[in-house]
Every structure is written in structure tokens, then in C-alpha cells.
């Protein structure tokens, strides 16, 4: 039996300064992006183009969903 990845464990970082980005509800962000919860894993992360540290204008840009791949290993089909 496979267990679903807990979306609250999803890592998010700023693509500019590489600082971690804290967000309230990652499930809401992923739902808005159309990413199914059953496709998440520890190889997934969100990259923001700016954060409160390097872009203190108060708004958080839209994230990009990234899935990391290990060299030499094939990705299982989704």
C-alpha cells in the first residue's frame, strides 16, 4: 500500500536568494496549480521568483512546481 505524501512537508524556496519560503496552505497552492496530491513525493518542491526577504513589496509571486530527478535513474511514469 502506498502512502500519500503530506503536502505540508513540501519544501518551497526563493529562486533569487535561495531562502526558504513559508506559506500557509501548500495544498491550496497545488490545487490552484492543478497538481494532483497523489503525484507528490519527496523529490518535489516549489520555487518562487522572489520572497519577503529579497522582494519586500508584500506580494508573493506565483510559484513553479519542480520535480527533481537523480542522474542515471529513470522517472516512474505518472
Predicted confidence band at 78 (pLDDT cuts at 50, 70, 90)? very low
Amino acid 1: pLDDT: 45
Q: 57-70 burial string, b = 16+ CB within 10 Å, else e?
A: eeebbebebeeeee
- How many domains would you assign to the chain? 1
Residue 43 lies in a domain: yes
pTM: 0.71
Predicted confidence band at 62 (pLDDT cuts at 50, 70, 90)? confident
Domain with 14, as residue range(s), is 7-67
Residue 14 lies in a domain: yes
Residue 19 lies in a domain: yes
Do the bridges between strand 44-48 and strand 63-67 make them parallel or antiparallel, or are there none, so unpaired? antiparallel
pLDDT, average across residues 27-51: 85
Amino acid 2: pLDDT: 58
Amino acid at each position: 500500500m502506498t502512502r500519500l505524501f503530506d503536502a505540508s512537508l513540501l519544501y518551497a524556496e526563493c529562486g533569487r536568494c535561495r531562502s526558504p519560503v513559508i506559506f500557509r496552505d501548500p495544498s491550496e497552492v497545488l490545487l490552484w496549480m492543478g497538481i494532483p496530491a497523489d503525484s507528490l513525493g519527496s523529490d518535489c518542491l516549489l520555487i518562487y521568483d522572489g520572497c519577503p526577504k529579497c522582494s519586500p513589496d508584500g506580494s508573493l509571486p506565483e510559484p513553479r512546481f519542480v520535480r527533481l530527478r537523480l542522474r542515471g535513474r529513470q522517472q516512474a511514469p505518472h
